[in-house]
A and B are shown apart, each in its own frame.
Chain A
Amino acid sequence: MSTKKITGLTELSTAPAVGDLLPIVDISDTTDASSGTTKSIKSATIHKAAGIGAGNTTAEPVKIDTSNGRLGVGVAAPSSVCEIAGTGVPFEVTSTNSNGLKMAFTDSVSSTRGYVGATSTHKFVAADQDGAYVFTIGSNSAINQQAYASYNDNDAHDICSIANRSGIIRIHETAGSIHTPYWSCGGAGVAYKWAMLEVDAITLRTMVHTSTFSVTNPGTSGNTYEIKTNGGDGTFSVERTSGALAYTVSVSSNWY
């Protein structure tokens, strides 16, 4: 048996072969001493303690296939650079970053990166390389939801600016939903202009600074609302003018 110290041995500077051996004290086996029995272990076996091995078992959920450079979790033979398999939701990404972006996608040029993620108010977001949202899914499956607010009074509420935007305003109450499509006609300041569909009368409205129209939900005890557009900052407001049902206003924008 060698009497050399480990520091005096020749270093194996390449990756060990699967069958290369290391000494190990098996503390579960007290045959030789109460503190354990010295044994040998193959280098590949050591990784099993960290769960790296077969790839498709509970004890060894990770597979690293050095023959093709692939990583698998929950799969014995990963078919791509990284494959994750399992039941239920096998893959989840969590980040506490407040911008909601969780994953980046890029080609070989890092500046052409895109992001996806989710926030407390958007179930899905896609963002450009600057982190600006370009597509979202909000409450009640609203596409590109710009605003969502709940009210239960008879005051006029500025919801948001829809200047140079097109989309749908959804006013929802227990008696049903009123969907008001709107289309930008351009303009600026007090000259902002839109077309809006007054859906209960099937009337196309021209909306400019301080234009208004009313719309009534025909459902049981349905509310009546006044929708008003404002020049300057391009906001619009919603006011419950009759009825007593609480309501929500959802604005989906950037529908070109």
Chain B
Amino acid sequence: MAIQYTKSITSMSTEDEGDNANVVKSAVYNITATEGNKSFTSMKPILLGDVSDDYASYDALTEDVVIGWCEAVMGSSEVTALKRGLEAQFTAPITSGVPQEKQLPW
């Protein structure tokens, strides 16, 4: 079964800049790799820099647009590195290193 990747934005931070309100200055980018019933996620806050020519009002933004901004800042090589890092967890999971407390069975 091939690994499936999904991307999402889980939060954004904004500032007003001149005439532009709620300019998105950073966004938390998530990429999740799923194979069967296992999944692993990497999460990175991305600084988006100054307003560009494609400024859009906050309410008009879509998740895909912001994902595109984040990946443009990171670069394709970093997105690939994140995927390779997640893939490695399927073959050799990096456990937490300490026993995990579990819900009691009774």
Q: Which of A's residues lie within 8 Å of B, judged by CB?
A: 98-100, 119-122, 132-133, 138-140, 145-153, 155, 157-161, 172-174, 176-177, 233, 235, 246-248
Chain B residues within an 8 Å CB radius of A149: 42-44, 82, 85
Chain B residues within an 8 Å CB radius of A248: 85, 94
Contact B11 A133 (CB under 8 A): yes
From residue A217, how far is it (CB to closest CB) to chain B in Å? 11
B63 interfacial contact with A, CB 8 Å: yes
Among candidates B44, B84, B95, residue contacting A160 with C-beta atoms closer than 8 Å = B44
Q: Which of A98, A133, A152, A233 has the most CB of B within 10 A?
A: A152
Residue-wise interface mask of B (27-39) relative to A, using a CB-CB cutoff of 8 A (1 in contact, 0 not) = 0001010000000
From residue B6, how far is it (CB to closest CB) to chain A in Å? 9
Q: Which of B10, B40, B86 has the most CB of A within 10 A?
A: B10
Q: Which of B's residues lie within 8 Å of A, judged by CB?
A: 8-11, 13, 26, 30, 32, 40-45, 47, 63, 77-78, 81-82, 84-89, 92, 94-97
Chain B residues within an 8 Å CB radius of A246: 85, 88-89, 92, 94
Contact B10 A152 (CB under 8 A): no
Chain A residues within an 8 Å CB radius of B44: 147, 149, 159-160
Among candidates B13, B63, B85, residue contacting A98 with C-beta atoms closer than 8 Å = B63
A–B complex contacts, Cβ < 8 Å, 29 sampled: A100-B10, A119-B10, A120-B8, A120-B30, A121-B10, A121-B30, A121-B41, A132-B13, A133-B11, A148-B42, A149-B42, A149-B82, A149-B85, A150-B40, A150-B94, A151-B82, A151-B85, A152-B85, A153-B81, A155-B77, A159-B44, A160-B45, A161-B47, A172-B94, A172-B97, A174-B92, A174-B95, A246-B85, A248-B85
Known contacts A120-B30, A246-B89; is-contact A147 B45 (Cβ 8 Å): yes
Contact A161 B45 (CB under 8 A): yes
